[in-house]
Amino acid sequence: MAGVGEAQRRQAGRSRPLHPSGRGPPPPPPRPRFEPVDREKTCPLLLRVFTKIGGHHSREDFAVRGKEPKDEVQIYTWKDATLRELTDLVKEVAPAARRRDARLSFAFVYPDKNGRFMVREDWLSKAHEQRILPWVELLLKYDGYEHVGKTFSYEGRRQLDDGKMLAELGFEIGDYLDVAIL
Protein backbone atom coordinates (compact mmCIF):
# COMPACT_ATOMS: atom_id res chain seq x y z
CA MET A 1 0.00 0.00 0.00
CA ALA A 2 2.84 2.39 0.83
CA GLY A 3 4.17 1.98 -2.73
CA VAL A 4 0.87 3.18 -4.22
CA GLY A 5 0.86 6.41 -2.22
CA GLU A 6 4.45 7.13 -3.18
CA ALA A 7 3.64 6.62 -6.88
CA GLN A 8 0.67 9.01 -6.60
CA ARG A 9 2.89 11.67 -5.00
CA ARG A 10 5.41 11.33 -7.80
CA GLN A 11 2.62 11.59 -10.39
CA ALA A 12 1.23 14.73 -8.72
CA GLY A 13 4.61 16.46 -9.13
CA ARG A 14 4.78 15.86 -12.90
CA SER A 15 4.10 18.77 -15.20
CA ARG A 16 3.05 16.62 -18.17
CA PRO A 17 0.63 13.70 -18.11
CA LEU A 18 2.08 10.34 -19.01
CA HIS A 19 1.28 8.47 -22.18
CA PRO A 20 -1.65 6.03 -21.64
CA SER A 21 0.85 3.16 -21.53
CA GLY A 22 2.55 4.91 -18.58
CA ARG A 23 5.78 5.50 -20.50
CA GLY A 24 7.03 8.45 -22.46
CA PRO A 25 5.43 11.76 -23.33
CA PRO A 26 1.81 12.06 -24.42
CA PRO A 27 1.03 11.85 -28.12
CA PRO A 28 1.06 15.15 -30.04
CA PRO A 29 -2.23 17.04 -30.03
CA PRO A 30 -4.45 16.61 -33.09
CA ARG A 31 -3.94 19.13 -35.88
CA PRO A 32 -6.24 22.11 -35.52
CA ARG A 33 -9.03 22.30 -38.08
CA PHE A 34 -9.23 25.51 -40.02
CA GLU A 35 -12.53 26.97 -41.02
CA PRO A 36 -12.96 27.66 -44.73
CA VAL A 37 -12.62 31.26 -45.82
CA ASP A 38 -15.67 33.05 -47.19
CA ARG A 39 -14.15 33.69 -50.61
CA GLU A 40 -16.93 36.13 -51.53
CA LYS A 41 -16.11 38.43 -48.61
CA THR A 42 -12.37 37.82 -48.06
CA CYS A 43 -9.73 39.42 -50.24
CA PRO A 44 -7.33 36.85 -51.74
CA LEU A 45 -3.60 36.91 -51.07
CA LEU A 46 -0.85 36.96 -53.69
CA LEU A 47 1.08 33.69 -53.65
CA ARG A 48 4.41 33.64 -55.44
CA VAL A 49 4.92 30.11 -56.81
CA PHE A 50 8.24 28.90 -58.20
CA THR A 51 8.27 25.68 -60.24
CA LYS A 52 11.23 23.49 -61.11
CA ILE A 53 11.42 20.20 -62.97
CA GLY A 54 13.23 17.41 -61.16
CA GLY A 55 13.52 18.88 -57.66
CA HIS A 56 13.15 21.86 -55.39
CA HIS A 57 15.08 25.10 -55.68
CA SER A 58 17.87 25.53 -53.15
CA ARG A 59 17.81 28.32 -50.61
CA GLU A 60 20.71 29.94 -52.52
CA ASP A 61 18.27 30.47 -55.41
CA PHE A 62 16.38 32.86 -53.09
CA ALA A 63 19.43 34.47 -51.46
CA VAL A 64 19.17 37.85 -53.22
CA ARG A 65 15.87 39.72 -52.96
CA GLY A 66 14.68 40.65 -56.45
CA LYS A 67 16.74 37.91 -58.09
CA GLU A 68 14.46 34.97 -57.35
CA PRO A 69 14.23 32.13 -59.89
CA LYS A 70 12.70 33.11 -63.24
CA ASP A 71 10.10 30.35 -63.32
CA GLU A 72 7.63 32.27 -61.17
CA VAL A 73 3.87 32.17 -61.34
CA GLN A 74 1.78 34.58 -59.29
CA ILE A 75 -1.50 33.21 -58.03
CA TYR A 76 -4.26 34.97 -56.14
CA THR A 77 -5.69 32.53 -53.63
CA TRP A 78 -6.81 32.12 -50.02
CA LYS A 79 -5.23 30.43 -47.00
CA ASP A 80 -7.80 27.64 -47.24
CA ALA A 81 -6.61 26.66 -50.74
CA THR A 82 -5.81 22.95 -50.91
CA LEU A 83 -2.76 21.39 -52.50
CA ARG A 84 -5.14 19.87 -55.09
CA GLU A 85 -6.37 23.37 -56.07
CA LEU A 86 -2.78 24.59 -56.33
CA THR A 87 -1.82 21.51 -58.38
CA ASP A 88 -4.56 22.31 -60.89
CA LEU A 89 -3.41 25.95 -61.12
CA VAL A 90 0.23 24.94 -61.65
CA LYS A 91 -0.86 22.54 -64.40
CA GLU A 92 -2.37 25.48 -66.30
CA VAL A 93 1.01 27.19 -66.64
CA ALA A 94 3.60 24.38 -66.46
CA PRO A 95 3.33 21.83 -69.29
CA ALA A 96 5.54 19.31 -67.43
CA ALA A 97 2.98 19.20 -64.62
CA ARG A 98 0.33 17.96 -67.06
CA ARG A 99 2.07 14.63 -67.68
CA ARG A 100 -0.05 11.67 -66.60
CA ASP A 101 2.69 10.37 -64.29
CA ALA A 102 3.77 13.75 -62.91
CA ARG A 103 4.05 14.20 -59.14
CA LEU A 104 4.25 17.60 -57.50
CA SER A 105 6.15 18.17 -54.26
CA PHE A 106 5.46 21.35 -52.32
CA ALA A 107 7.84 23.37 -50.16
CA PHE A 108 7.48 26.68 -48.34
CA VAL A 109 10.16 29.32 -48.77
CA TYR A 110 10.22 31.77 -45.90
CA PRO A 111 12.66 34.21 -44.28
CA ASP A 112 14.44 33.10 -41.10
CA LYS A 113 15.01 35.46 -38.17
CA ASN A 114 18.03 36.97 -39.98
CA GLY A 115 16.10 37.62 -43.20
CA ARG A 116 17.70 34.76 -45.17
CA PHE A 117 15.27 32.54 -47.01
CA MET A 118 14.84 28.93 -45.91
CA VAL A 119 13.20 26.11 -47.87
CA ARG A 120 10.99 23.72 -45.88
CA GLU A 121 10.45 20.82 -48.19
CA ASP A 122 9.20 17.30 -47.95
CA TRP A 123 11.81 15.84 -45.63
CA LEU A 124 10.34 12.36 -45.94
CA SER A 125 11.45 12.00 -49.56
CA LYS A 126 15.00 13.06 -48.69
CA ALA A 127 15.04 10.62 -45.78
CA HIS A 128 13.87 7.86 -48.10
CA GLU A 129 16.74 8.63 -50.50
CA GLN A 130 19.24 8.45 -47.64
CA ARG A 131 17.76 5.16 -46.32
CA ILE A 132 17.00 6.63 -42.89
CA LEU A 133 13.26 6.92 -43.41
CA PRO A 134 12.12 4.78 -40.42
CA TRP A 135 14.16 6.87 -37.99
CA VAL A 136 13.06 10.17 -39.47
CA GLU A 137 9.38 9.14 -39.50
CA LEU A 138 9.66 8.21 -35.84
CA LEU A 139 11.29 11.54 -34.99
CA LEU A 140 8.75 13.54 -37.02
CA LYS A 141 5.84 11.72 -35.38
CA TYR A 142 7.27 12.43 -31.95
CA ASP A 143 7.76 16.13 -32.72
CA GLY A 144 4.36 16.44 -34.39
CA TYR A 145 6.05 17.75 -37.56
CA GLU A 146 4.11 17.48 -40.79
CA HIS A 147 5.83 17.69 -44.14
CA VAL A 148 4.36 20.14 -46.65
CA GLY A 149 2.97 17.62 -49.12
CA LYS A 150 2.87 15.85 -52.45
CA THR A 151 0.16 15.38 -55.06
CA PHE A 152 -0.22 13.53 -58.33
CA SER A 153 -0.93 15.52 -61.46
CA TYR A 154 -4.30 13.84 -62.07
CA GLU A 155 -7.03 13.35 -59.50
CA GLY A 156 -7.51 9.69 -60.43
CA ARG A 157 -4.42 8.93 -58.36
CA ARG A 158 -5.43 10.66 -55.15
CA GLN A 159 -2.86 11.29 -52.48
CA LEU A 160 -3.56 11.98 -48.82
CA ASP A 161 -2.09 15.47 -49.17
CA ASP A 162 -4.62 16.60 -51.82
CA GLY A 163 -7.01 18.03 -49.23
CA LYS A 164 -4.41 19.78 -47.05
CA MET A 165 -4.92 23.53 -46.83
CA LEU A 166 -2.13 26.11 -46.82
CA ALA A 167 -3.22 27.38 -43.39
CA GLU A 168 -3.04 23.97 -41.73
CA LEU A 169 0.43 23.39 -43.17
CA GLY A 170 1.80 26.49 -41.45
CA PHE A 171 1.73 28.87 -44.42
CA GLU A 172 2.02 32.55 -43.52
CA ILE A 173 1.26 35.47 -45.79
CA GLY A 174 4.53 36.48 -47.45
CA ASP A 175 5.88 32.93 -47.77
CA TYR A 176 6.65 31.64 -51.26
CA LEU A 177 5.65 28.23 -52.56
CA ASP A 178 8.27 26.11 -54.30
CA VAL A 179 6.88 23.30 -56.46
CA ALA A 180 9.07 20.47 -57.69
CA ILE A 181 7.62 18.68 -60.71
CA LEU A 182 8.83 15.10 -60.50
pLDDT tens for the chain, residues 1 to 182: 555 555 454 445 445 555 555 566 666 556 566 778 999 999 999 999 999 999 888 888 988 889 999 999 999 999 999 999 999 999 999 999 999 999 999 989 888 777 778 776 544 444 444 454 454 444 444 333 335 888 888 877 677 789 999 998 888 999 999 999 99
For position 41, what pLDDT does the model report?
Answer: 96
Return the CATH fold of 43-181: Ubiquitin-like (UB roll) (3.10.20)
CA distances from 135 to 68, 123, 147 (A): 34, 12, 15
- d(C-alpha 110, C-alpha 141), whole Å: 23
Domain ranges in the chain are: 43-181
- Residues 104, 182: contact at Cβ < 8 Å? yes
For position 63, what pLDDT does the model report?
Answer: 87
Predicted confidence (pLDDT) per residue in 67-118, tens digit: 999 999 999 999 999 999 999 999 999 999 999 999 999 989 888 777 778 7
pTM: 0.68
User: Rounded to the nearest 5 degrees, what angle is found at the Cα of 148, between the Cα atoms of 143 and 151?
Assistant: 135
- d(C-alpha 53, C-alpha 182), whole Å: 6
For position 31, what pLDDT does the model report?
Answer: 57
For position 45, what pLDDT does the model report?
Answer: 97
